[in-house]
Structure 1
Amino acid sequence: MAHTTRRLALAGLGTLLASPALRAQPWQPSRPIRIIVTYPPGGVNDIVGRIIAEPLSRELGQPVLIENRAGAGGNIGTVAAAQAEPDGHTILFGTTALFGVNPLLYAASSGVDAVRDFTSLGMIGEVANILSVIPGRVQATDMAGFIAEAKRRPLIFGSVGNGSSSHLSAALFLSMTGIEATHVPYRGSSPLVAAMLAREVDFGFDTTATSTAHVRAGALRPLAVTTTTRATALPDVPTMQEAGLAGYDLGIWFNLGVPRRTPAPVVARLAEALDRARSAPATHERLRTAFVEPMALPFAQNEAFIQASAARWQAIARAARVSID
């Protein structure tokens, strides 16, 4: 996908905001708004959620509070957001995993499918996952050496949760290289990074937002990033394609969404507020400081983008036979 379209393509909300009926029915929140983040505090989802909450609060004239509802790969928080009153006062912090693989893993048991049940207000940012190995447990310093080492002995890898983008980034890597490794899922980025720093696993995939500082400190040894372009924060780290895995391209995006039953005037007001909050120079600076690339799409393109992304991630999950058992 063209990164020029996915990043910084700031645009208006088109016909949604042009309707005279919507202009005649302005909506304002009447109490604090909560953003449900479906992972624990300290990880990239929590970081980005708090970055966007501050300017969004200014735009809407109400406090915007982060509520961490972790568990079941993010599905617990997703269900809570789906069951909330569709009045604009509860927003889901969406991720690639929630809209991508979770409908495949959890929809049958929970009845919630994020693609079907939520309207996207807009994108916030995008990060790459980094394939990092643990010095002292892995000797290899490049991809070829790591693949060779991994084929000589059993390895253990960690992820931020079963079915997460971290897990599926590893699953695609293993399928493309023929490596076998034992998977240990953790409950979010912070527990995963802690386990990697404690040398409990041999390697893992985690985002630039939570791994870059440890990479720069030498505690983690990066081998490649999962996007087709190098991460701004780590320009010397090659992409997976540059490292020899042709066709590997998995970026992780973040958005905000509300239950699909939310009235159009409410959606329009929230989407407009998000667009203003996201496009503020101070927001861009804070996102980049957190090693997240600002990302935006015209409002009318959000749904098609999410559906295409979900289809791709679900194909990877099916090929890897990912399940919640």
Structure 2
Amino acid sequence: MSTDLNATRVMAVAAAGGEAAVRGAKKRSREPMTPGERIRLVNAHISIYVAAALFMLPLIYAFFSALKPNGEMFAMPPSLFGSEIRWSNFAEVFEFGPFWTYIGNSLFVAVAGTLVVLVVSTTAGYAFGRLRWKGRDAVFVIFLATMMVPAEVLVIPMFQVMQWFNWVDTYPALIFPFAFTAFGTFLMRQFFRGIPYELEEAARIDGAGPIRTFLRIILPLSKSAVAVLSVFTFMSFWNSYLWPLIVTVDLSARGTLPIGLASFSGLTGTRWDLQMAAAIISMIPTTILVIALQKHLVKGIAMAGLGGR
């Protein structure tokens, strides 16, 4: 049976490769671009570069602001560079408070929360998108309607539930309440519905059940959608501020990075230079994640909403 399933997967990959070869042949056989097409292509590239520069300007200003002395953060007229470049601001961030603890907590919560969301969303998306059972569409509509409820409205009920479970000021309270959202399920369902049903039927003929088909056929073909969901979920947990602030009592032990960023503001004033340096540091993990999964992100975002069968 395992050999038959592997053969099915090889056929799918070969079919995808054949389509890519056909597209590549068509692309190579195109006629040379006309002058008008070249002008439109150049204008498109210029527009993209200008838009990218506009989006990068705040990040560039934030980086150089992190190198300024604190007293020059709001100097007028504003300038990109301060009177001196203080790389020591980045080192002083870790001396100001338990910043390593904040980073470790955020990494643990974001990674664990992402894993839980991936398991729940892929299995639920498979049940809603590929399996046929009575009341499936009605349940999905109800499940999808939860996306219209603002998260702030759920804060008090969720805190009461955490009290019932005795989870206040624990890591499960930071992970599980927002790990069962409808967004991930909807995303995976739409992607799963775009996978040809013939692959599933071939696996069923080979003797594979729904679980084996999901693990050996459907899930390996959904790497791009899983990558998109992973990035969105990781960033959601990584940037979450309101819920960790409410459910965490010992902030120095279980506080997350957004809480750590807020700790630079106090009754004696705000260390804007350190806060800006800490913000730059906090962007490093998400930036690395997006760059590493860039290829899958582009493909997944382009294909996630194409399912309609």
Do both share a fold (TM > 0.5)?
Answer: no
Q: What TM-score, normalized by structure 2, do the two folds share?
A: 0.28
More helix by share: 2
Greater C-alpha radius of gyration: 2
More strand by share: 1
